[in-house]
Structure 1
Amino acid sequence: MTERPAVDSLGYEDARDELVEVVRALEVGGLGLDDSVALWERGEALARRCDEQLAGARERIEEKLAHADDPDADDAGD
Structure 2
Amino acid sequence: MLAPMDEGNNAAGSAQDISQMSFEQALAALETIVQQLERGDVPLDHSISLYERGEALRAACQQRLDAAQARIEKIVTGADGRVGGTRPLDSDG
* Class of the TM-score when normalised by the shorter of the 2 chains: 0.7 to 0.9
Aligned in 2, Cα 1:77/1:56: closer, same or farther, shift over 3 Å? closer
Size of the alignment, in residue pairs?
74
2:27 aligned partner: 16
Deviation, structure 1 residue 77: 3.8
Tell me, yes or no, if structure 1 residue 69 matches structure 2 residue 80.
no
Tell me, yes or no, if structure 1 residue 53 matches structure 2 residue 64.
yes
Counting aligned pairs with the same residue, the percent is 34
Alignment gaps of 5+ in structure 2: 77-82
TM-score normalised by L of structure 1: 0.77
1:33 aligned partner: 44
Q: 1:12-50, CA deviations, whole angstroms, 9 ceiling, x for partnerless residues?
A: 111111111000000112111111100000110111011
Match of 1:43 among 35, 49, 54: 54
Q: Which ranges of 4 or more aligned residues in structure 1 deviate by more than 3 Å?
A: 1-5, 73-78
Cα RMSD (Å) of the superposition? Answer: 2.7
Question: Which is greater in Rg?
Answer: 2
Alignment gaps of 5+ in structure 1: none
Select the structure that is richer in helix: 1
What SS class does the counterpart of residue 23 from structure 1 fall into? helix
Q: 1:35-68, CA deviations, whole angstroms, 9 ceiling, x for partnerless residues?
A: 11000001101110110010010011011xx126
Aligned in 2, Cα 1:46/1:76: closer, same or farther, shift over 3 Å? closer
Aligned in 2, Cα 1:59/1:32: closer, same or farther, shift over 3 Å? same
2:80 aligned partner: none
TM-score normalised by L of structure 2: 0.66
